[in-house]
Structure 1
């Protein structure tokens, strides 16, 4: 069911779409085919969720974007701390920083969106 579009929901949608573009870049430079497929699928989910959020700002779009952000941020943190299977931890790069910043930004914007919609009544 569509909800009222807010400034926060629009910015969260934009951030999710930018995150999807960053994930496409990461998928293109992935070390393995499985990492490429995983990042490509999460990028697709973030893109579709971001577009749906821009248009309808519905529960479903929030759910898809939150799942994409969670998968991205958890995967990035695991890669930085434990490393990919068979490899050691990866070094922090600009792509990692941008990915984590976008993930936090989307989360904060969704919280602000919920607050804006709650205080309108």
Structure 2
């Protein structure tokens, strides 16, 4: 179901695009082959989710943004704390910091968008005394 586009949904699409671009930047560093496949899959899903969010702002786009943000957040936290399978623990650098912060921002913006959508829905269904 298509919903109206809000400032929060546009910023969510922007933050998801930033996540995807940072993940693609990670491909310049040596990764195991399984990590490369995961990073590419999440980056492509992130770009698709951002485009879908920009065009339709629907349930599916919110679901994809949540999955991309969650996978990025969990993967980055695992990479920084324990290390990914077949690789050593990574140092916490600016890119890792951004890959931790951006998913949290995207999820927060989705919450703000949901609140705005509920408010808009309530204003549209509110009746005046004369009608």
The TM-score with structure 1 as length reference comes to: 0.94
The answer for unaligned runs of 5 or more in structure 2 is 123-131
Q: Give, in angstroms, the shift of residue 2 of structure 1.
A: 0.8
Q: Give, in angstroms, the shift of residue 94 of structure 1.
A: 0.9
Give the equivalent residue in structure 2 for 1:114: 114
Give the equivalent residue in structure 1 for 2:80: 80
Deviation readout 1:43-83 (Å, 9 max, x if unpaired): 00010001100010000011111101100000000111111
Q: Secondary structure of the equivalent of 2:92?
A: coil
Q: Secondary structure of the equivalent of 1:28?
A: coil
Give the equivalent residue in structure 1 for 2:71: 71
Q: Give, in angstroms, the shift of residue 32 of structure 1.
A: 1.4
Give the equivalent residue in structure 1 for 2:11: 11
Deviates more, 1:52-61 or 1:28-37: 28-37
Bigger radius of gyration, 1 or 2? 2
Q: Give, in angstroms, the shift of residue 89 of structure 1.
A: 2.0
Q: Give, in angstroms, the shift of residue 86 of structure 1.
A: 3.9
Give the equivalent residue in structure 2 for 1:98: 98
Give the equivalent residue in structure 2 for 1:89: 89
> In structure 1, how many angstroms separate the alpha carbons of the residues matched to 2:62 and 2:30?
27
The answer for unaligned runs of 5 or more in structure 1 is none
Contact 2:32 2:86 in 1 (8 A): no
**Pair 78,8 (structure 1): closer, same or farther in 2 beyond 3 Å:** same
Q: How many residues align?
A: 121
Contact 2:6 2:116 in 1 (8 A): yes
Find runs of 4+ consecutive structure 1 residues off by over 6 angstroms. Answer: none
> In structure 2, how many angstroms separate the alpha carbons of the residues matched to 1:79 and 1:37?
15
**Pair 56,78 (structure 1): closer, same or farther in 2 beyond 3 Å:** same
Q: Give, in angstroms, the shift of residue 15 of structure 1.
A: 0.7
Q: Give, in angstroms, the shift of residue 29 of structure 1.
A: 1.9
